[in-house]
A and B are shown apart, each in its own frame.
Chain A
Amino acid sequence: MIEILDAGPQTTVQDLGRCGQLRSGIPPSGAMDRFAFVVANRLAGNGDTAAALECTLLGPRFAVATTCAIAVTGAAMPIAVNGVEAPAWTTLVLHPGDVVKLGSARAGLRAYVAFGGGLDVPLALGSRATYLRGGLGGLHGRSLKKGDRLNIVRCCVPARRRVRRDALPSYPSEVSLRAILGPQHDRFTAAGIAAFCSGAYELLPQSDRMGVRLRGERIEHARGHDIVSDGIALGSVQVPGDGQPIVLMADRQSTGGYTKLATVCSFDIGRLGQLRPGQRVRFSPVSIDEAHRLLRASDEALTRLTLEEIA
C-alpha cells in the first residue's frame, strides 16, 4: 500500500487511456507522454498498460507499507528516498516505511511513477485513467490528495534495470512538432498557413490535459472561424477567431465547432505534453505517408529500447 503524504499540484492515476467512448463524449485520457509512461512500467516489471502516477510540475511525497519496486521517468524531478537522492529511469526497490519525495521539475513538465504490479483502482469503462473534468476513473475521478491510500495489484519486485544514458529523452525549451495539414486547412489563407509553418508559438499557462494553448503569429482565416461541429482528433490544431492555435490533447472534448488547420502526429504528442508555460513549439508539415513511416520508426525505437541490468 502507498500513502500520499503530499500530493503535488496535479497527481493523477493514468494508464494508456480508454478506447471507444468518444462517441459518448468521453475522451481517452491516459498518460500525456506515452513514451515515458511505458518505460516507467517496463522498469517496474509491468506490462505497458499498468496504471501508474502522472505528476505535474511538482511531484508528490508518499510512503510505502510493503516491499515494492518503483521507477520514475519523464520530467526531471529530483528523487529522494528517505532523504537520499535516487536515480530516475531506474528500477528502485523500496522497503516498508520508506518515504519517497519527488521535487520540482528541472526540465519537462510531467513525471511518471510506476509501481511493480501496477496501481489498483477500479476499471471505469475499460480503463483506470483519470478523466478530471468528467470525474471518471483513477481514484474517485480526481487528482490525488494528502491522506489518499492506493493499493498495488500484485506487488512484485523485478530485477533492477535502467535506461542507457544515450537513450534518455531530453526536454528542450523549444520543440518541433510534425503535423499533417487538415482537415480544414482550406479555411485559412496562404499567409495564415505560412505563419503556422514558420513561426514559433509560446505555450500559455492556461494549458492543461484537455488542450495546449499557444500564442504567436496570428493565423489568418480565409472565411469564418466557425464550422458545423465535427469530431476532434488527438493533436487537432484548432484555431478560433483570435488566430491563436490550441492543440487538443488526451482529455479533449469529442466534438467542436472551430476550424482545425492541422493535426499534430501521435508520436510527437508526448513531447508537447512535456512543454512548460513560456516554452515554444514550431510546426513542420509532413505528408501522411511520411507520418506513417515516422510512426513505425517510433514504434521500433520503443521495441528496441534496451534496459540494462544493474549488477
Chain B
Amino acid sequence: MPAGDLAVLVEIDEEIGPALSQRLRALEALASREIAGITETVPSFRALLVYYDPRLVSYPQLCAAIAERLPRASAAVLPATRLIELPCCYRDPELGFDLDQVAARLGLSVHELIRLQTSVDYLVYFIGFAPGQPYLTGMPERLAIARLETPRTKTPQGSVGIGGTQCCVYSVESPGGFWVLGRTPVKLYDPQASEPVLLRPGDCLRFVEIERREYDRIAAAVAARAYRVRIA
C-alpha cells in the first residue's frame, strides 16, 4: 500500500506477537541489505514502512522485490538478540510514586509486584512515538491495570510504568497515562551521546531492582558519561 510518493507500507495480516515481530524485522533486514533504493525502514506492530527513492527503484519493482523476500524472512537472517539489563529503583516515593497505589489496586504486596515486574524479559517490538521510546511486550498478565483516568501532563524521563497490558519506559519527559512504579537512571535517549538511542527493535529488556543509593551513584556516572549498560 503506497504511503505517498516516497514510501510503501508493507502489512502482514497475522496475529500481533513476538513471531510476527521477528518476521517483520527479518524482512526489514533482508530488504535493507538486498534492495537498492531503500532509504530507511520503520517496523511497527504489524507493518514495515519502507522509504525508497523512486529515482533508483520503481514502485512495482520495489513491491515485487519485497514480496519475493517474504518467504525468506525468518530469524535466520537476524543478528543474535541483545539482552539489556536496566537498573530500576522502585522503593522510593520520589521515583516510584504510584508503587503503593498499584500494589493495593492489584491486591499484591509491594514485594510481589516488584518480583513480578522484574521476573520476565520484555521484547522491544519497535521504537516510536518519541525518540528512543520502546514499545514493550511480555508483561505478566497479573499486572494488567486500567490506565490513569486523567493522564499526567508530565512524566519524568526514565520512569518505568505500567498501563493496560503494557509496560513502558519514558525515554524523554512526556505526558502519559501509565502508573509509575519506579525509575531507571539510564537514559534511553540522550541527544548529547554519540549514539543517542540505547534500544533497538528486537532487543530483550530485563529490569533489575536497585536501591536509591545505587540509583544516585549510577545517575552521577551517567551524567559523567562513565556508565555502561550491561548488554549480553
How far, in whole Å, are A234 and B6 apart by their CA atoms in the complex? 8
Interface readout for A257-293 with B: 1 if CB under 8 Å, 0 if not?
Answer: 0001001111100000000000000000000110110
A183 B5 Cβ-Cβ under 8 A: no
**B182 at interface, CB cutoff 8 A:** no
Provide the residues of chain B in CB contact with A179, threshold 8 Å: 4
How far, in whole Å, are A296 and B54 apart by their CA atoms in the complex? 9
Name the interface size band of chain A: 35 or more
Name the interface size band of chain B: 35 or more
Instruction: Kindly report which residue of chain A lies nearest to residue B43, judged by CB atoms.
Output: A23
- Assuming A24-B197, A25-B171, A292-B59, is B4 touching A19 (CB within 8 A)? no
**A141 at interface, CB cutoff 8 A:** yes
Partner pick for B5 among A125, A254, A292, CB 8 A cutoff: A292
- Assuming A266-B4, A288-B5, A291-B5, is B40 touching A23 (CB within 8 A)? yes
Provide the residues of chain B in CB contact with A265, threshold 8 Å: 4-5
Interface readout for A216-235 with B: 1 if CB under 8 Å, 0 if not?
Answer: 00000000000011111111
B3 A183 Cβ-Cβ under 8 A: yes
Interface readout for A85-129 with B: 1 if CB under 8 Å, 0 if not?
Answer: 000000000000000000000000000000000000000110000
A182 B40 Cβ-Cβ under 8 A: no
A-B contacts, 10 listed (Cβ < 8 Å): A23-B40, A24-B127, A24-B131, A24-B132, A24-B196, A231-B48, A231-B49, A255-B44, A256-B129, A295-B54
B45 A228 Cβ-Cβ under 8 A: yes
A263 B2 Cβ-Cβ under 8 A: yes
- Assuming A136-B196, A255-B44, is B7 touching A233 (CB within 8 A)? yes
**A236 at interface, CB cutoff 8 A:** yes
**B69 at interface, CB cutoff 8 A:** no
Q: How far is the CB of B21 from chain A (nearest CB, A)?
A: 12
Among A234, A256, A299, the one with the most B-chain Cβ atoms within 10 Å of its Cβ is A234
Looking at chain A's contact residues, is the secondary structure mostly helix, strand, loop, or mixed? Answer: mixed
A23 B5 Cβ-Cβ under 8 A: no
Partner pick for B3 among A21, A136, A182, CB 8 A cutoff: A182
Interface readout for A141-180 with B: 1 if CB under 8 Å, 0 if not?
Answer: 1000000000000000000000000000000000000011
8 tightest Cβ-Cβ pairs between the two chains A and B: A231-B49, A255-B128, A263-B4, A231-B42, A233-B3, A24-B197, A233-B7, A291-B5
Partner pick for A253 among B46, B130, B171, CB 8 A cutoff: B130
**Contact residues, B42-69 vs A (CB, 8 A):** 42-49, 51, 54-55, 58-59
A266 B5 Cβ-Cβ under 8 A: yes
How far, in whole Å, are A138 and B197 apart by their CA atoms in the complex? 18
**B207 at interface, CB cutoff 8 A:** no
B128 A25 Cβ-Cβ under 8 A: yes
Number of A-B contacts (CB under 8 A): 152
Interface readout for B1-39 with A: 1 if CB under 8 Å, 0 if not?
Answer: 111111101010000100000000000100000000001
Q: How far is the CB of B145 from chain A (nearest CB, A)?
A: 20
- Assuming A136-B191, A263-B3, is B128 touching A288 (CB within 8 A)? no
How far, in whole Å, are A264 and B2 apart by their CA atoms in the complex? 11
Instruction: Kindly report which residue of chain B lies nearest to residue A269, judged by CB atoms.
Output: B4
Instruction: Kindly report which residue of chain B lies nearest to residue A231, judged by CB atoms.
Output: B49
Partner pick for A23 among B42, B172, B196, CB 8 A cutoff: B42
**B147 at interface, CB cutoff 8 A:** no
How far, in whole Å, are A232 and B55 apart by their CA atoms in the complex? 21
A228 B191 Cβ-Cβ under 8 A: no
**A22 at interface, CB cutoff 8 A:** yes
Q: How far is the CB of B219 from chain A (nearest CB, A)?
A: 19
Instruction: Kindly report which residue of chain A lies nearest to residue B126, judged by CB atoms.
Output: A255
How far, in whole Å, are A230 and B2 apart by their CA atoms in the complex? 13
